[in-house]
Structure 1
Amino acid sequence: MGHLWQEQVHRFSLQYFQSEPTLDFPSPEYLRLQDVQDQIYSRLFGPKSLKCRPPARYRLRIAKELIRHIEDAIDNWDTQVRSSSFTVLVQPQCDGLIWTLQAVSDDLMSAAAALVATSLPPEMTTAQDRSHTTYHLSLCDKIKDPNEGENLFAYPRITILENRGLIAAGGTTGHRTWEAALHLGQFLCTNKSLIVGKRVLDLGTGTGYLAILCAKHLQAAHVTASDGSDDVLNDLIDNLGLNGLQRSTGLAVEKLQWGSGAVRAGHEKRVGGAPLDVVLGADVTYDQQSIPALITTLQELLQLQPNAQVLISAVDRNTESLQKFLEIGRQERLTIERIPFDEVPAKQQSGPFYQSNFAIKLFRVSGAFVGRQLCSSSLDVELNQNVHPKGDNSN
């Protein structure tokens, strides 16, 4: 990207638009510089920043924290020279920046003042509201973005209207994007050939993150985003629109109740009964009661499409639930194998940003008569060098 200060501002901006609770502010030696503050203002608050912004209450909090960090950076610099209205910086140049008269940027102060003047509804009222979250895909090829400057490129991104603080509502957890989906998405970005030109079914699509990723950024031939909740599917339409997919012929939305036999009933409707190549499921093993129905659905899919690649991403927050998935799957003669794919430490991530207090595990599922022969001849060949061993083969 160029200079270190640009990298720090870039990371800070990506975290901001993902509404991360804790941001990595640029270093104090950069924050006090006019050029850096101007860049932050342009990216976060300026007229050319992303149109889909975090909620106003979050923007206000970050604006206040940013100003406090800048003021601290100026106050704590031992070699500064003060006057009544500004600080003169002694050093002439640093990391490509010209050091000029310094204070908190007028633009940043104005942005904060405008947010302070905004009438915000009570926090309890907005706790159930959805807001825009933008996930930047650091493992996808960068694209030219005029908002990034003449010589800079931007990561492809996915914008989701969701409630990041909501665990469950209306009997579903599908109103927010979970870490398991982000982790599986990184795996797919690293192994694009699994999706390019393929027909994909996303089970329990939730906010549609994986379906949008495959349809818009990984060049899938067709994607079916399925879920059993009417509320989730209604919200999904908004997210498709935010990502320019509302009229896409390459993406369909389907209500699919696990274990109901709907897989076979809806088979002909899915791209005219064309074969499925890939089935995805992220955070679909958390509820022990739903696991038998999930296994039945996977069996039906593999009976219809025995050569399909089935990839499951699970956060091991409930060991009993995950073990039940593995045990019932094997009892029903499914082959379930662990895919080694490391989680990147939070401080080393470039987007999307996610961390879990529990391990995120990827599995591939195949039918009894396909099993290891398919796994070794197909998926394993496509895994590239970014996949690293992690743990044993199953648990």
Structure 2
Amino acid sequence: MDISRAGVEPAVVKFYRQYMQQISDVTYPPGNLLVKQDVQDSLYKYFFDGSQNKFLPPPRYQARILKRIIEEIEKSCRDPDQDQVSDRLMEHMGYLATIPRQPDSDEAQQMLVHSYFPPLPLDEPGVRPVLIKEARNLLSRGTNVGLRTWEAALHLGWYLTVQRPDLVRDKTVFELGAGTGFLSLLCAGQLGAAHVVATDGLAHVCDILQANVDLNRDNYNGSGSGSGTGPGTGPDPGTSSLFRAPEVRLLDWTDRPELDRVIAEAKASGVRYDLAIGADITYHPDILRPLAELLGVLKDHFPGMAILISATIRSDTFAQFTSICRNEVGFKVVELPCNIPDGLRCSGLFHSVATEIKIVSLER
């Protein structure tokens, strides 16, 4: 559903985008706005009415948000005859209270659909989210790291959308360690890539990646009442044609024969890779050299290819990776500025930058 077409204030649109992404620290609109009956009607329709949107957040998250909304409305009521919490919001709060609460450990492992809206103007109509089914609250380790979207992917997604969409539009994109597929799907949809190859080294992660590709294909084609398309409305003619489903491929960075096949197939079909991307893929020391060498091989075969790597700096592995790229593979490592604004100017792909996130370009 496209809340920007409802004529609500930008603060409500931003609130909706945060809510659908299911972030913890949403920015609530002011109480004097929430108390308006037309705003409350929009809140019920877009935030809580499951018949309008099948990708709503889970009941526990809805209840936490709705409880705060009701508190803010009640604090802002000035005229008892005019100002009140709408019956539909109160009834939905009562309904949510009847749903049994799951144990925290079970809830953390649930695969739920999150809607990631790109950082486009809050009054722009037809903005479609990237839909990702994932376990965002799972404590990821080992083979679980590909089951959630990490902050470095959102950071790179923001950079590509706001600062360098030209690197993607009508280009061929190759993603390494794609995980849930967020970046590949953003490139294939909103950013208008000509073709995207999304790779990961784990078969079960590729299965999840393919499921997310199918989910977004269906949403763009209007075959469900998702957060991008309302029931019965069909696809948005301004955006549905942009989505070209990414190709999902299993790729172990140490499997040189498979890499050679990928390159040979691309050349045989006339494909030239224009951009290689990777986010939070430098977390383990054992994979740094194979990754750097693989990027070197790709650059040898596609000299015009840009390479962007994004990483949250949690240890010294990223420094080790860039050192290998510089000293052993012959790359020039260039750090790219990515300055995300505060307030209403930050309109999508919400993520914390409390821990430093870097984006580098590998050039030669």
Relative to the length of structure 1, the TM-score reads 0.78
Aligned match of 1:216: 189
Cα pair 1:141 1:155 within 8 Å, conserved: no
1:251 equivalenced with 2:232 (yes/no): no
Equivalent of 1:16 in 5, 14, 19? 19
Tell me, yes or no, if the aligned pair for 1:312 and 1:363 is still in contact at 8 Å: yes
Query: Do 2:310 and 2:360's aligned partners in 1 also have CA atoms closer than 8 Å?
Result: yes
After superposition, residues 305-320 of structure 1 pair within 5 angstroms as: 305-318=302-315, 320=316
The 1-side partners of 2:123 and 2:37 are apart by 28
**Greater shift in the superposed pair: 201-210 or 132-141:** 132-141
- The separation in 1 between residues aligned to 2:357 and 2:68, in whole angstroms, is 32
Matches within 5 A, 1:349-388: 349-366=346-363, 371=364
Confirm or deny that 1:111 pairs with 2:83: no
After superposition, what is the alpha-carbon deviation per residue over 1:114-138, rounded to whole angstroms, capped at 9, x for unaligned?
A: 1122234322212111111101112
Deviations 1:258-311 (A, max 9, x none): 132132232233473622111011111222221111111111111221221111
Q: Which of 25, 38, 55 lines up with 1:52 in the alignment?
A: 55
Q: Secondary structure at the match of 2:249?
A: strand
Matched, 1:67 2:70: yes
- Secondary structure of the 1:67 match is helix
Q: State the Cα deviation string for residues 177-235 of structure 1 (Å, max 9, x = none).
A: 11111111122113222112211101110110111111122221111000001121111
Query: Could you say which residue in structure 1 is the equivalent of 2:134?
Result: 162
Corresponding residue for 1:326?
322
Identity among equivalent pairs (%): 32
Specify the structure having the higher radius of gyration (Cα): 1
The superposition leaves residues 36-88 of structure 1 with CA deviations (integer Å, 9 ceiling, x where unpaired) of 211211210135643211122211222222222222333xxxxx35xxxxx13
Counterpart code for 1:104: V
Aligned partner of 2:237 in structure 1 is none
Measure the CA separation in 2 of the matches of 1:67 and 1:250: 41
Q: How far apart, CA to CA, are the structure 2 residues paired with 1:250 and 1:130?
A: 21
SS at match of 2:145: coil
Q: CA 1:5/1:193 → structure 2, altered by over 3 Å: closer, same or farther?
A: closer
Q: Is the 8 Å Cα contact of residues 134 and 157 (structure 1) preserved in structure 2?
A: yes
Q: Find the aligned partners of 1:142 and 1:206 in 2 and give their Cα distance.
A: 31
Name the structure 2 match of 1:260. Answer: 255
Question: Structure 2 counterpart of 1:111, which letter?
Answer: H
Counterpart in 2 of 1:92? none
- What do the CA deviations read for 1:351-392 (whole angstroms, capped 9, x no partner)? 1211122222111112xxxx2xxxxxxxxxxxxxxxxxxxxx
8 Å contact kept, 1:184–1:282: yes
Higher relative contact order, structure no. (Cα contacts within 8 Å, ≥ 6 residues apart) = 2
CA distance 1:250–1:8, change in 2 (3 Å)? closer
Alignment of 1:182-201 (within 5 A): 182-190=154-162, 191-201=164-174
Q: Does 1:285 align with 2:282?
A: yes
Q: How does 1:19-38 map to 2 (within 5 A)?
A: 19-38=22-41
Give the Cα separation in 1 of the matches to 2:271 and 2:7: 49
TM-score by length of 2: 0.84
SS in structure 2 opposite 1:23? coil
3-state secondary structure, aligned to 1:217: coil
Q: What is the CA–CA distance in structure 2 between the aligned matches of 1:355 and 1:283, rounded to whole Å?
A: 14
What amino acid is the match of 2:204? D
**Alpha-carbon distance in 2 for matches of 1:305, 1:166:** 37
8 Å CA contact 2:46, 2:52 repeated in 1: yes
Amino acid at match of 1:138: P
Give the Cα separation in 1 of the matches to 2:111 and 2:6: 36
Q: Does 1:135 align with 2:132?
A: no
8 A contact 1:279–1:309 mirrored in 2: yes
1:339–1:73 CA distance, 2 compared to 1 (3 A): same
2: CA distance, partners of 1:124 / 1:72 = 35
- Preserved CA contact (<8 Å) 1:142 1:155: no
Give the residue type in structure 1 aligned to 2:294: T
Q: 1:327 to 1:253 in 2, by over 3 A?
A: same
**Counterpart Cα distance in 2 of 1:194 and 1:16:** 29
TM-aligned CA deviation for residue 18 of structure 1: 0.6
Q: Is the 8 A contact 1:286 1:321 kept in 2?
A: yes
What is the CA–CA distance in structure 2 between the aligned matches of 1:211 and 1:270, rounded to whole Å?
18
In 1: Cα distance, 2:33 partner to 2:27 partner: 13
Instruction: Supply the distance in 1 between the matched residues of 2:260 and 2:10 (Cα, whole angstroms).
Output: 50
Q: Which runs of 5+ in 2 are unaligned?
A: 222-242
Partners of 1:256 and 1:207 lie apart in 2 by 15
Distance 1:10 1:49, change over 3 A: farther
The amino acid of 1:345's aligned partner reads D
1:245 Cα deviation from its structure 2 partner = 6.5
CA distance 1:311–1:28, change in 2 (3 Å): same
